[in-house]
Amino acid sequence: MATFATKFIAACALATWASATFSMSNQCLASSGPTVTPVLELYTSEGCSSCPPADKWASAFKGKNVVVQAFHVGYWDYIGWVDRFAAPAHTARQNEVAGRNRLRSIYTPQVVVNGRDLPQWRGAEQRISGQKESAQLRIEVKQLATDQFEALVTPVNPAAPVPAWAAYWTVTEHGHNSKVKAGENAGEFLKHDFVVRQYTQAGEYRSADATPKKLGFRSIAATPGHERQVNLVVFDPSSGKTLQALSLQCTG
């Protein structure tokens, strides 16, 4: 008969083995390249009749080297349909973007590329995905556990580090849809990709040295049946310009 001590040691060994199994079989990591990965932000709403074409347009970037984020906003909810993907933080971010672009108001659908308002977004796919600006920062992101991630942000040229940068994380998901029953899109069946399910600011960093910065992130649980991307965007806090970005898609 096994003693309590034997059972305890066996349980600990099993837990250690399970942890090691996760790290070996489900390790998920990615590194940014020598050029800046473009960041496309779409501000949209299920209560906006002109938004579905923009949603469909954004979906065409699946599989391309572009970090796409569809921020749903709720300021059209009063028309009669509440957008379940909207969050006040998304509207707050859109207001920040409007301020940097000196816009008088916010609107939907709005497309923002690398921090700049892009009213003429139709037909701009190649121009967006084909950008080749040299990166000043390198990002490495790895998955530590199912919903725990860590990033390392490092200057490409230690002799000339970026004096100031800020960052934020998002979790985006594909394959969501809604049968709209009221408002401007009443009767429509809407399909969404790159839906922002979590937006978390990661701070602002002012540094004159080349010391790598480590950023931790705990995500919400993945929604079953929907591909999930964990994104980190590093940008200039003054202009909003993208300095580097990375999207990580993990299966575990």
pLDDT per position in the chain (252 positions), as tens?
444 344 433 444 333 333 333 343 457 999 999 999 999 999 999 999 999 999 999 999 999 999 999 999 999 999 999 999 999 999 999 999 999 999 999 999 999 999 999 999 999 999 999 999 999 999 999 999 999 999 999 999 988 888 899 999 999 999 999 999 999 999 999 999 999 999 999 999 987 667 889 999 999 999 999 999 999 999 999 999 999 999 999 876
In a domain, 11, yes or no: no
Q: Please count the structural domains in the chain.
A: 1
Determine the Cα–Cα distance for residues 198 and 129; give it in Å rounded to an integer: 24
Contacts of 206-212 with C-beta under 8 Å, sequence gap 24+, read: 206/163, 206/164, 207/161, 207/162, 207/163, 207/164, 208/161, 208/163, 209/161, 210/154, 210/155, 210/158, 210/159, 210/161, 212/152, 212/153, 212/154
In a domain, 196, yes or no: yes
In a domain, 9, yes or no: no
What count of residues does the chain have? Answer: 252
In a domain, 19, yes or no: no
pLDDT at 22: 35
Taking CA atoms, 197 is separated from 19, 72, 99, in Å, by 27, 9, 24
pLDDT at 18: 31
In a domain, 218, yes or no: yes
Taking CA atoms, 248 is separated from 64, 67, 185, 206, in Å, by 13, 10, 33, 26
In a domain, 18, yes or no: no
pLDDT at 161: 84
233: domain CATH number? 2.60.40.10
In a domain, 21, yes or no: no
pLDDT at 5: 42
pLDDT at 26: 57
Answer yes or no: pTM beyond 0.75. Answer: yes
Determine the Cα–Cα distance for residues 15 and 157; give it in Å rounded to an integer: 42
Looking at 26-87, list the stretches that DSSP marks H as alpha helix, in order from N- to C-terminal side. 52-59
- 242 burial type by CB count under 10 A (0-12 exposed, 13-18 middle, 19+ buried): buried
In a domain, 17, yes or no: no
- Which residue matches tokens 């998955």? 143
